[in-house]
C-alpha cells in the first residue's frame, strides 16, 4: 500500500486518460488501455530516440570497444576507466536502452493498482462491454483459453521486441531475452487482463518503432581497420641485444 500511495498521482492520471478515451472519444475499455499505451510511448519517444542513437553508436564503435577490452583484459579496473572515457568522448550512453523501460515501469504499476481498485472496477462493470477481443473481463485475471492466448501473445511479442532492440547482442544476452518472457509468463496469469493488453501493446509498438528505424535509419558502417588499429596498444619495443664481452 505504501507504493500505491507514492504512485497515487500517476494512478489518478492513468484513470483520467483512460476515462477520456472511453467517455469522451467513445473507445471501448480495451482500446482505451491501448490508447494509454500509445500516449505513454509518445511521451517517452525523445528518450527512445536517444536510446536508438546510443545503440547505433555502440554498433558503429564495436571494433574500437572490443580493442579496448582486449588491450586491458588483464586489468578490469583500467578497462572500465578506458571504456567510460571512450563513451564520454564519443557521447555514448551504454545504459540508454534501460531508460524507456524504467520510465514505463511506474505507468505499468499504476495501471496495475488502477485495475484492482474498487471504484474503477465498478466503472467498468457499469459500462459494458467489460471484455476486449477474446478477453472476458479486463479487470480480472484471465482463465482457460483466453489465458493461453494472452501468454502466447506476451511471449511472442516480448521475445520479438527484445531481439529487435538488441539484434547484435552476444550469446548470453540472447539467452536472457528468451528466458525472461518465460519467467514473467506466470505473473501474466495472475495480473488483471488489462495489464497484459498494455504489455503486449507496448511490445508491438517496439516492433513497429524498430521497423521504422531500420527503414529510415540504416545500420552504421563499421570502423575502418586503421581506426581500430589506432585504438590498439602499440607493440612493445624490441629488446636490445647485449654485446658479448671479448
Task: Kindly report, residue by residue over 72-110, the tens digit of the pLDDT.
Answer: 777 778 888 888 888 777 777 666 656 666 777 888 888
**pLDDT value, residue 19:** 92
What is the C-alpha separation between 235 and 160, in angstroms, rounded? 44
Helix, strand, or coil here: 236?
Answer: coil
pLDDT of residue 243: 55
Asked whether the beta carbons of 165 and 122 are under 8 A apart, the reply is no
Buried b (16+ CB within 10 A) or exposed e, 158-192: bbbbbebbbeeeeeeeeeebeeebeeeeeebeebb
Q: What's the distance, CA 13 to chain centroid?
A: 22
pLDDT number for residue 232: 47
Distance CA 14, CA 146 (A): 25
Q: What is the pLDDT of residue 100?
A: 65
> Cell numbers 483520467 label which residue?
16
Q: At what angle do helices 193-216 and 29-43 cross, to 10 degrees?
A: 40
State the pLDDT at residue 95: 64
**What pLDDT does residue 136 have?**
84
Task: Kindly give the parts of the chain with pLDDT less than 50.
Answer: 168-170, 223-225, 227-236
Q: What is the pLDDT of residue 4?
A: 65
Tell me if 219 sits within 8 A of 172, measured CB to CB: no
Task: Give pLDDT, residue 206.
Answer: 81
Amino acid at each position: 500500500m505504501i507504493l500505491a500511495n507514492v504512485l497515487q498521482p500517476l494512478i489518478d492520471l492513468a484513470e483520467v486518460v483512460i476515462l477520456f478515451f472511453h467517455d469522451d472519444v467513445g473507445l471501448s475499455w480495451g482500446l482505451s488501455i491501448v490508447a494509454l499505451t500509445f500516449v505513454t510511448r509518445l511521451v517517452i519517444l525523445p528518450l527512445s530516440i536517444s536510446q536508438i542513437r546510443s545503440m547505433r553508436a555502440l554498433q558503429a564503435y564495436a571494433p574500437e570497444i572490443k580493442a579496448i577490452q582486449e588491450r586491458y583484459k588483464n586489468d578490469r579496473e583500467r578497462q572500465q576507466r578506458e571504456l567510460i572515457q571512450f563513451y564520454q568522448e564519443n557521447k555514448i550512453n551504454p545504459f540508454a536502452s534501460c531508460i524507456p523501460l524504467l520510465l514505463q515501469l511506474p505507468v505499468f504499476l499504476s495501471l496495475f493498482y488502477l485495475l484492482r481498485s474498487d471504484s474503477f472496477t465498478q466503472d467498468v462493470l457499469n459500462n459494458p462491454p467489460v471484455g476486449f477481443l477474446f478477453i472476458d473481463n479486463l479487470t480480472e485475471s484471465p482463465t482457460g483459453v483466453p489465458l493461453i492466448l494472452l501468454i502466447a501473445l506476451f511471449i511472442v511479442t516480448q521475445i520479438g521486441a527484445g531481439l529487435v532492440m538488441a539484434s547484435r547482442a552476444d550469446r548470453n544476452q540472447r539467452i536472457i531475452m528468451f528466458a525472461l518472457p518465460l519467467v514473467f509468463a506466470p505473473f501474466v496469469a495472475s495480473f488483471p487482463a488489462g495489464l497484459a493488453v498494455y504489455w503486449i501493446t507496448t511490445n508491438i509498438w517496439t516492433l513497429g518503432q524498430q521497423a521504422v528505424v531500420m527503414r529510415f535509419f540504416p545500420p552504421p558502417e563499421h570502423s575502418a581497420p586503421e581506426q581500430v588499429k589506432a585504438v590498439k596498444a602499440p607493440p612493445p619495443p624490441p629488446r636490445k641485444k647485449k654485446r658479448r664481452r671479448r
